[in-house]
Amino acid sequence: MSVPINWSSFFNRMPRQLEEPVRQHLKNVYACLTLSVISVAVGAYLQIYTFLSLGVFFSTLAGLVPVFLLLSTPHNGTNTPLRITYLLASGFFIGMGMGPLLQYVINIDPSLIMSALIGTTLIFACFTLSVLFSKRGYWLFLFGPLSSLASVVILLSFGNLFFGSYLIYQMDVYLGLLIMCGLVLFDTTVVIEKFRMGDKDFITHALDLFMNFIGIFKRILIILTERERNERERKRNQ
């Protein structure tokens, strides 16, 4: 579940309004992001193809522990390897938690996983470039709209516990995807501005973007899988 990216070439083409220290910081952020995605792939593989299995619930709980340890361990420049280990451990357990979903998709069409990964990477790259080529701080205005949309999604999810509506479920998935895409714009802007204000914790910044990446991937995968399943059912009923 990893796509090779030439980060050096990518960052060398960055717009010149980005200072060199900002570029270096973003290199570190996206390098950690890439390692985290690879860690997810390892965790998912072990969950699906080996005896090592924790289940979704315990994998989720296990994934929260390294996140807590990472956030509670201040960045001081000397504990970088330890904090990266926490980040990768979180990705590993997230991957294990995604194992059942990926197994379900594999049973329908394994190629959907790669399609979702490529789609997620393209979306992430396009929205990241939108930030890099925009005016400084431009996308910070998204905080209000995204917060409102998130409230709507939470209410829909809660209400659907009682109604069990497929339409509401679809709205939840698509609105969630929209929110995650908006968060890429917002969080990337925040990462840049935080660094300019002296926050050089690239590992925590990578964690924020990593959660966005996983959120987009899961929703795209669900959308593609449901479309494929519905198409097969339609052909079967003809």
Q: What is the pLDDT along the chain (238 residues), one digit of tens a residue?
A: 555 555 555 555 555 567 889 999 999 999 999 999 999 999 999 998 887 777 777 888 888 999 999 999 999 888 999 999 999 999 999 999 998 999 999 999 999 999 999 999 999 999 999 998 888 889 999 999 999 999 999 998 888 888 888 888 899 999 999 999 999 999 999 999 999 999 999 999 999 999 999 999 999 999 999 999 888 888 887 7
Q: Is residue 154 part of a domain?
A: yes
Q: Is residue 144 part of a domain?
A: yes
| pLDDT at site 76 | 87
| CA pair distance 230, 226, nearest whole angstrom | 6
| pLDDT at site 6 | 57
Which amino acid is located at 67 in the chain? Answer: V
Structure tokens, 201: 């914790």
Yes or no: say if 146 and 175 are a contact pair by the CB < 8 Å rule: no
Total count of domains within the chain: 1
Yes or no: say if 43 and 93 are a contact pair by the CB < 8 Å rule: yes
Q: Is residue 58 part of a domain?
A: yes
| CA pair distance 54, 135, nearest whole angstrom | 45
Q: What is the 3-state secondary structure (H, E, C) of the chain?
A: CCCCCCHHHHHHCCCCCCCHHHHHHHHHHHHHHHHHHHHHHHHHHHHHHCCCCCHHHHHHHHHHHHHHHHHCCCCCCCCHHHHHHHHHHHHHHHHHHCHHHHHHHHHHCCHHHHHHHHHHHHHHHHHHHHHHCCCCCHHHHHHHHHHHHHHHHHHHHHHHHHHCCHHHHHHHHHHHHHHHHHHHHHHHHHHHHHHHCCCCCHHHHHHHHHHHHHHHHHHHHHHHHHHHHHHHHHHHHC
Q: Is residue 181 part of a domain?
A: yes
Q: Is residue 196 part of a domain?
A: yes
Yes or no: say if 186 and 146 are a contact pair by the CB < 8 Å rule: yes
Domain region containing 156: 7-237
- Other beta carbons within 10 angstroms of residue 123's beta carbon come to 18
Residue 18 burial (10 A CB sphere; 0-12, 13-18, 19+): middle
Q: Is residue 1 part of a domain?
A: no
